[in-house]
Structure 1
């Protein structure tokens, strides 16, 4: 039976954790606020350039009397102190013994893994760390790093309406935003930051000012991406189940019919679905202004793509909405393990790198960024950028190196990825995990990207140990017994050992 994608879990509200481990609720809420603050102010996250500070005794792991704010301002009670690169590094032999006791498969297969001190890079645990394995969704860490380096954290993608090749025609032009909303633009949102209703209203205003009176026809330009819209490595069953969909440079709700429903089949033509929704909103907005919209939407042939150089008004921008920033999109992609968004970000990396915006171009552009980061990628194999295939091959050492680059590397643009890592027991694909006594010590402390296929499970991320030392890690299980619950628990217990370890 062909390996299939297994859903990685859904986010749970922090309050759900209290049903299982109520005594940790306050601690988890404090950590959820405090860890990002530690990221912002800690020398450990900026690298060892600053002189070391005195080591703290782990105040972030003590049960607080009341909630505190990250800055430790008035009215707070014991806000988390900055991490210190003077905190002791765990002893490799002690840590290895502890992890060996927990990193065991439930049935068939095996685990590989690497744990490193984030600041020095010292390897503290190594089990087959250079063996390339199927990483499942952990490959999204590579996509995130490449997007932040190539596009920049503050980059936004534009969806434009331009004047068409014939009078009275307009062209909806995709620029990479697949998180469009059907309603008005929501400036504080990530999903729906750019809204089709707002775009339609602005288009009507522009048409009125231009004196347009006749029926308006809507065309679609989705030519930014090239090549097949599906990776040849993807299983047709996974596509049919909605794990991913044909890729286009514009879509509603990350190519979902309903933003509130993140499972089940997706639109087969997300760009046309978005264009038809835009045309409907243009018709509604135009009715109030005396403008009519012709029924139907047609794709604009590439040879007729409007260009200002052609003369007249063809190609003139009539209206525009912008996406959330790349940093915000990476955050969403990592937290929810959004396959469609990961693949689109990869193709936008290809566009920015001057490569074809195809599956092959995106993979090549992402791997090039790893080499520029100083992470050897000669042994790495990538067939997609979302992790839906066993054809991907990445080592635990390579994944740990990516996480280390994000936490302490010299390219500070990568810091933007850190907040997107799911928090154990609280957010994203880790929201329903770390809720029993064997893993509770890692709840609120472990931040890691999950990865799950039927025979694969992976977890890569970062954690501050009991002494205040920042550690990065990656664990990958391959050849596992499908559905064996103990494998996920083994990874969570192992990461919890890192959180609770002084290991000296």
Structure 2
């Protein structure tokens, strides 16, 4: 019976697809909340339902007595009960009110930690701070210096598909088969004869393709791979979202897929294509023969957060570096992300980034810094930055939270908690926000470190802590 009841609540959550941040960021919604300070019921309260569309970019509405903050002492007691596990490890946490920034709970909040994939929230915010949300990255074919040579130039799109472009997807918005068809049309129109040679230019990204901050075991397991300026499906050996192996040289692999598609496209014209693609560059004044463009940056950021895509995170960091006048390298990406986050208002003085996806154990970011950024994303008047908060996985419904909270739907967390997940061998983390039973939006970061064989217990504990926020009146 409990499973049926939980399923019904999840169906309701799917139907309304809650966007709790709207209650605080959008004045029309905040004004509609008068008299809404009720305790959570089985049905979702009206103040947690989203507007039909996001409107308005004004300042946060003033707090009112109808929307009281939780009592910090009572909230602390409930969180302490959940943030406790047997065995090794310690919890670090910060919970604050999104509207005022009042800290309601803190445990080791200023301690620098490796927060695993929670770090991707920084990368997402930095990318949308440095670039427009509708920025699209071109993969271009240029005429090579030698007759019959074409150069495939990567522009940073690592979500290419080997097939045709798919306008309704993020991964695969730009297709190498479509690019090959367009190239073939240009070549036949120019009267190009056999043989055609394919070269690939991935020089947009500079420096080492593989970071020393990543363990060999992570590379072997396919958690990450050498980062190039073009890739099919984030370098997965089979298109998809993993897990599984990744290719060692994503640029050459993409070029070979393009070469095969070009050979097929040119076959009716009797034009042969040399069997192997190689690296090369085109002259500075080379004519463009064809191009395809990625999904907009905002959609790629959503995809990265929902799927916790390590490869895409590193590519977006390098593109952020390029957009801010830096080398599109590991060092440039790290510097760009940290500086953009500082400009948004986060105190980064003690922050150390080992990478921009969260695999590196050299990273040191505190729960306070993560929570501070989350609050900024919720209260900013910039709709592009607000979209980062809106794109986080939803408890029991989407992304890396799709399989969590589904057995605890009656706790009120399903459909309410939105957060980025993070997991390493000895770390589990959750950073996001939830609307409580009185309509307050609370931002939080929970990180458990020093784990040894009890990672699942720690993950359940941070999930339960977030559920406390979602279900809390706490007065």
Match of 1:78 in 2: none
Q: How far did residue 206 of structure 1 move?
A: 1.1
Distance of 1:100 and 1:69 partners within structure 2? 30
Match of 2:91 in 1: 111
Listed one character per residue, the Cα deviations across residues 251-307 of structure 1 (whole Å, up to 9, x for unaligned) are 00111121246022210001100000000000000112332212211101xxx5421
Mapping of residues 453-464 of structure 1, within 5 Å = 453-464=424-435
| Counterpart check, 1:21 vs 2:8 | no
Corresponding position: 1:408 with 2:379 = yes
The CA distance in 1 between the partners of 2:29 and 2:14, in whole Å, is 27
Aligned partners of 1:105 and 1:111 also within 8 Å: no
Distance 1:58 1:202 in 2: 59
Q: In 2 relative to 1, CA 159–131 (structure 1 residues): closer, same or farther, beyond 3 Å?
A: same
Any idea what SS the aligned residue of 2:231 has? strand
Matched, 1:399 2:381: no
1:155-194 equivalence runs, <5 A: 155-194=135-174
Matched residues in 2 for 1:343 and 1:145: separation? 13
Counterpart in 2 of 1:299? 279
* CA RMSD of superposed structures (Å): 2.6
Q: Quick one: structure 1 residues 279 and 122, their matched pair in 2 at CA, closer, same or farther if it must change by over 3 Å?
A: same
The residue that corresponds to 1:470 in the other structure is 441
Task: Tell me by how many angstroms 1:98 deviates.
Answer: 1.3
User: In 2, are the aligned partners of 1:52 and 1:85 still within 8 Å (CA)?
Assistant: no
Partner of 2:57: none
- Tell me the SS of whatever aligns to 2:355: coil
Equivalent-residue separation in structure 2 for 1:457 and 1:214 (angstroms):
56
Report the TM-score, using the length of structure 2 for normalisation. Answer: 0.92
8 Å Cα contact 2:6-2:409 kept in structure 1: no
Distance 1:31 1:441, change over 3 A: same
1:203 and 1:360 map into 2 onto residues whose CA distance is: 35
Looking at structure 2, the residues matched to 497 and 385 of structure 1 have their Cα atoms a distance apart, in angstroms, of 30
CA 423–305 in structure 1, closer or farther in 2 if over 3 Å, else same: same
Please tell me whether the aligned partners of residues 454 and 483 of structure 1 are also in contact (alpha carbons under 8 angstroms).
no
Tell me how far apart the structure 1 counterparts of residues 324 and 462 of structure 2 sit (CA, whole Å). 36
Are 2:353 and 1:373 equivalent residues in the alignment?
no
Distance (whole Å) between structure 1 residues aligned to residue 398 and residue 107 of structure 2: 29
Q: 3-state SS of the aligned residue for 1:124?
A: strand
Give the aligned partner of residue 31 of structure 1.
13
Residue 62 of structure 1: how far off its partner (Å): 3.3
The aligned residue for residue 151 of structure 1 is: 131
| 1:202 lines up with 2:202 in the alignment | no
Structure 2: distance between partners of 1:97 and 1:247: 45
Match of 2:254 in 1: 274
- Residues 337 and 429 in structure 1, CA contact (< 8 A), matched pair in contact too: yes
* Pairing partner for 2:79 from 99, 110, 133: 99
Alignment of 1:107-146 (within 5 A): 107-146=87-126
- CA distance in 1 between counterparts of 2:38 and 2:232 reads 45
The whole-number CA distance in structure 1 between the counterparts of 2:375 and 2:108 is 19
TM-score calculated relative to the size of structure 1: 0.87
Could you give the per-residue CA deviations for residues 101-145 of structure 1, whole angstroms, max 9, x where no partner exists?
Answer: 111133112101111111111111111111111111111111010
Distance across 1 between alignment mates of 2:13 and 2:409: 19
Query: Does the CA contact (< 8 Å) of 1:54 and 1:84 recur in 2?
Result: no
1:353 paired with 2:324, answer yes
Task: Tell me the matched-pair count.
Answer: 465
Note closer, same or farther for the CA distance 1:52–1:427 as it changes in structure 2 (3 Å cut). Answer: closer
Change (3 A) 1:430 1:439: farther
Q: Helix, strand or coil for the counterpart of 1:390?
A: coil
Gaps of 5+ in 1: 1-18, 74-82, 309-314
